[in-house]
Amino acid sequence: MSDTHVKELVELLQLERLEDNLFRGQSRDIGTRFVFGGQVLGQALSAAQQTVDASREAHSLHAYFLRAGDIDAPIVYSVERARDGGTFSARRIVAIQHGQPILNCAISFQVPEKGLEHQSSMPEVPDPEDVEPMHRVPPEELARLPVKLQRWLGSDGPFEFRQVWPRDELHPAKRPPIQHIWLRLTSPVDDSPALHRALLAYASDFHLIGTSTLPHGISYLTPNLQMASLDHAMWFHRPFRADEWLLYSFDSPTAQGARGLARGQIFSRDGALVASTAQEGLIRLRDE
């Protein structure tokens, strides 16, 4: 089954080309109420990559989520070729559903070149083999949740996650806004670096804004909580494979005004910092 989920995700990121700068993608219902934000990020990156010379690699992505996506409708990606310089290319992407933009995105590409090097050190955490896989919600508690959440929590996906510090999302305790999670695809995929970047863009939306809820004893399963990603930024630093273990380290420096800010660093198993992320999200507690 794991191979099937990975194959479905790879196919999801391989968009249909309608015109030189126009692409169409489908959606996969993974149990979320709306289209998963990581899917739109991965597809937007996939669309932009198809308009750039293969020698140029994406190094930064900046996106705004404008509207919730409809799982039952295709998404059209319109790419504007903003600039092609000597070593850099810039693209603007608009994801459209039902005639309205659901995401605006800017992505920059660069011809690889050598330069100065330094990086943050990877946190000292147990190896993924020494961390237990994430536990499923007990059947009796799962049965009390909405049907879509049951599908989200009760099924496997294309990525495996192992939390260094596990958390009970149904009964969350207050703790500092820091977490470390190992992740990888559940089966191998092709060697294409562009594919691996799109896959990591997809996975980068998992658990990020949730880090901002940790000090408050709430989670995305809290009944009166409204959570939504507002924007997403991502920088690709070094080569990696999404089908090998990566450590995603999160922190949240602030939450205020019904918004939380979370940051992430993604390391390969040998300690190389391969990508960084940042996201601001809506965190609104409604009256009971």
Query: Could you list the active site residues?
Result: 205, 229, 279
Sign (positive/negative) of CA torsion 144, 145, 151, 154? Answer: negative
For residues 261 and 208, is the Cβ–Cβ distance under 8 A?
no
- The 3-state DSSP class for residue 244 equals coil
Return the H-helix or E-strand segment holding 255: strand 246-256
Distance CA 60, CA 42 (A): 13
Strand partners, 100: 97
Residue type, 276: S
Cα 126 to chain centroid distance, Å, stands at 23
DSSP 3-state assignment of 258? coil
CA distance 36 to 5: 15
Exposed, middle or buried by CB within 10 Å (0-12, 13-18, 19+), for 232? buried
CA–CA gap between residue 207 and residue 223 (Å, rounded):
18
Give the bridge partners for 264, in sequence order: 250, 277
DSSP readout, 26-52?
Answer: -----S-SS--HHHHHHHHHHHHHTTS
